[in-house]
Structure 1
Amino acid sequence: MVRRHELTDLERELLAPLIPRAATGRPRVEDRQVVNGMVYKIRTGISWRDLPERYGSWKTVYTRFRRYALDGVFTRALPQIQAQADAAGDIDWLVQIDSTIVRAHQHAAATGRKGGGAGRTNRTITPSADPEADRPPKSTSPVEGKGRPLAILITPGQRHYSVCARPLLERIRVPRVGLGRPRCWPDQVIADKAYSSRGFRAYLRKRGIAHTIPEKTDQRWYRLRRGCHGGRPPGFDRESCRRRNVIERCFNRLKGFRGIATGYEKTAASYEAAVTLASFLLWARSL
């Protein structure tokens, strides 16, 4: 029987081939039981020590989660399920990018022990991680047209949105099921004014990516003041811009995992692994 906040049979089948197995050593706890404990912890936001006994020793669940986080197990699992969706024509390549602030719990601060990292107050979901962030982290993610994350980037809260735009798009790599290179570029990018810059627009045009980004007021006045030297106004499709609510709904679904809505993890690697596992579940439940 599948309990609340646990893997379904389909999710287990998708994840099982990607979990590393030890060739030697004593018999270990079943992978499904341990991963169920990880999902339960992330979904409810409880302490590792408070995991129900049906998942076995909390130390086993935590140790294996940290191992998977450092080895990038969930980071490799996400592109695999995206590849299956792409092969079935189930990905809408009208991509939206945005960031959301994640307030870190006081328990996510450094312990003060030797070798501990600097305390953090926030996290941002974006394509790269900064383990020494000293402000509320920000999470940035590109979302395809059906509201599923294509990549994850964790950055410090003080990092500006536009700085993360390029590395975020460069994290998109959806493998092909058969032969061929991974797909890296969307058909169109939709973003808000925070991503409005001449450099980012030039970056998208160079790669042949259509974009819908509203122009900032100060940028418009600067362009008009320069007259004929200011260039043409950027194209803007109002109807496409109205679809930006899809990425907001995606963030809401991710923050339905209480362990993601509030940052409890002390390291960026663990937090990014938790967000990636939650993203994997969003994809698995949409197939």
Structure 2
Amino acid sequence: MSGHFWLTDEQMGRLRPFFPKCRGKPRVDDRRVLSGIIYVKKNGLQWKDAPAAYGPAKTLYNRFVCWSRMGVFAKIFVELAQPGANGATIMIDSTHVKAHRTAASLFKRGTRPRAIGRTKGGLNSKLHMVCDGLGRPLTFFLSPGQMSDAKGAAALLSTLPCAKVLLADKGYDADWLREALEIAACIPARRGRKNPARHDRKLYKQRHRIENLFARLKDWRRIATRYDRCGELFLSAICIAATVLFWL
């Protein structure tokens, strides 16, 4: 089992309160199955290529899909992702995620949202995220790749955590967004604006932390490249990665 990923007893203790209750036949070992799901997502494997140490691949896939659609992984992230001591500052940004050919069909089948669009880079999705001052994710959502940063921020306004200042890049420099914010904004002005707003350059240097956040998330190969056709399944994969990397 050398090189395999295993959740520790302490990590399982934090996760177990959010698991669905067993009804009838006892569930297969939660630690083994969840560790297997994390291993597959981190290393970009097909489900059938999961190591035998984690049990049948079908069990891993069924547990991931079932709990994703039940909202278990999303609930775990929401409950564990709480701003720390540096909660006075939050940051917002977005990144593109390339859609693999197995997920990149634009034809929508069924009622489940896909969140895949077309840009100059091809078919992709866009991950809009808010993090705290330490670069830990707090809230996010997925959109088609062609959605602008400002529109993504508008969708996140109602879920912004309590803070004193919001850091963002030039893509969020819009008068309506500044007016809609209930907190101070540290956003550099776009080139050519007639009345550019000032920003704290020293504070703005901290914005690299959200870029580091995206880099760490994309170390997981099934986050860097989207293989899941359903948007909710890909969001669950992001919830798992964000929880393991930053909140366990």
Shift, 1:283, TM fit: 2.5
The aligned amino acid for 2:57 is: W
Aligned partner of 1:101 in structure 2 is: 96
- How has the CA–CA distance of structure 1 residues 171 and 49 changed in structure 2, closer, same or farther, with 3 Å as cutoff? farther
Q: Distance in 1 between matches of 2:218 and 2:206?
A: 20
Aligned positions, number = 243
Aligned partner of 1:188 in structure 2 is: 165
Aligned partner of 1:267 in structure 2 is: 230
Q: Which runs of no fewer than 5 residues in structure 2 stay unpaired?
A: 119-123
Structure of higher CA gyration radius: 1
Matched, 1:216 2:190: yes
- How has the CA–CA distance of structure 1 residues 238 and 260 changed in structure 2, closer, same or farther, with 3 Å as cutoff? same
TM-score after normalising by structure 2: 0.90
SS in structure 2 at match of 1:65:
helix
Aligned partner of 1:12 in structure 2 is: 12
Deviation sequence 1:182-239 (CA, Å, 0-9, x none): xx332210000100000000011xx2x0110011123x23x4xxxxxxxxx4231111
Q: Distance in 2 between matches of 1:239 and 1:100?
A: 24
Shift, 1:58, TM fit: 1.2
Aligned partner of 1:80 in structure 2 is: 79
Contact 1:104–1:263 (Cα < 8 Å) also in 2: yes
Aligned partner of 1:125 in structure 2 is: none
Aligned partner of 2:128 in structure 1 is: 140
- Corresponding residue to 1:245 among 198, 208, 213: 208
Q: Distance in 2 between matches of 1:55 and 1:274?
A: 18
Contact 1:5–1:40 (Cα < 8 Å) also in 2: yes
TM-score after normalising by structure 1: 0.78
Identity over the aligned pairs, expressed in percent? 34
Shift, 1:2, TM fit: 8.9
Aligned partner of 2:31 in structure 1 is: 32
Aligned partner of 1:167 in structure 2 is: 155
Shift, 1:169, TM fit: 3.7
- How has the CA–CA distance of structure 1 residues 103 and 17 changed in structure 2, closer, same or farther, with 3 Å as cutoff? same
Shift, 1:281, TM fit: 1.0
SS in structure 1 at match of 2:214:
helix
Q: Distance in 2 between matches of 1:91 and 1:130?
A: 35
Q: Distance in 2 between matches of 1:111 and 1:53?
A: 35
The aligned amino acid for 1:210 is: A
Aligned partner of 1:177 in structure 2 is: none
Aligned partner of 1:150 in structure 2 is: 138
Question: Which structure dedicates a bigger proportion of its chain to strand?
Answer: 2
Aligned partner of 1:68 in structure 2 is: 67
Q: CA RMSD in A?
A: 2.3
Contact 2:115–2:125 (Cα < 8 Å) also in 1: no
Shift, 1:110, TM fit: 4.4
Which aligned runs of 4 or more in structure 1 are off by greater than 6 angstroms? none
Q: Distance in 2 between matches of 1:169 and 1:151?
A: 11
Contact 1:139–1:152 (Cα < 8 Å) also in 2: yes
Q: Which runs of no fewer than 5 residues in structure 1 stay unpaired?
A: 119-128, 173-183, 224-232
Aligned partner of 2:246 in structure 1 is: 283
